[in-house]
Amino acid sequence: MNNLTKLEINNLKIDTIIGIHDHEKSEKQSLIFDIIIFYNSSTTIKSDNIKDAIDYYDLTLNLKEFISNNHYELLETLSHKILEEIVKDKRIGKAILTISKPKALEDFGAMVKVTNEYQKLS
């Protein structure tokens, strides 16, 4: 039996350099990440061992380091690169990532969100 597990990490706040404007290229700003990962958890359920699971703590640490140490101009590029990092774990069949940039349209009382998706082809 395949057990499809949906793992969500919501409202992950990480400061990074992102944007096209001069002030965005020199000052870190907060982005908010929502991540959804789907994976077959059959082995995890049988073993009840973190080694067989997608360790969300380690995943979060790795993403924080990756995002903090890389600088992109566009959210679309950052989103794609993060998904590439996430799906290095071959157990992941699908991943959805939404990045919110709260200050992007702050003058209008709005925020920008970009969502990208990876799905392993069968």
pLDDT of 1: 61
For residues 92-106, average pLDDT: 91
Q: What is the pTM of this model?
A: 0.89
DSSP H stretches of helix in 35-122: 42-47, 56-69, 75-86
Domain ranges of the chain: 4-119
pLDDT in tens, 38-53: 999 988 889 999 998 9
pLDDT of 122: 62
Residue 72 vs residues 18, 21, 30, 47, 55: alpha-carbon distances, Å: 5, 12, 14, 40, 27
Using pLDDT thresholds of 50, 70 and 90, give the confidence band for residue 111. confident
CATH topology for the 4-119 domain = GTP Cyclohydrolase I, domain 2 (3.30.1130)
Q: By three-state DSSP, how is residue 49 classified?
A: coil
**74 has a pLDDT exceeding 80:** yes
pLDDT of 33: 97
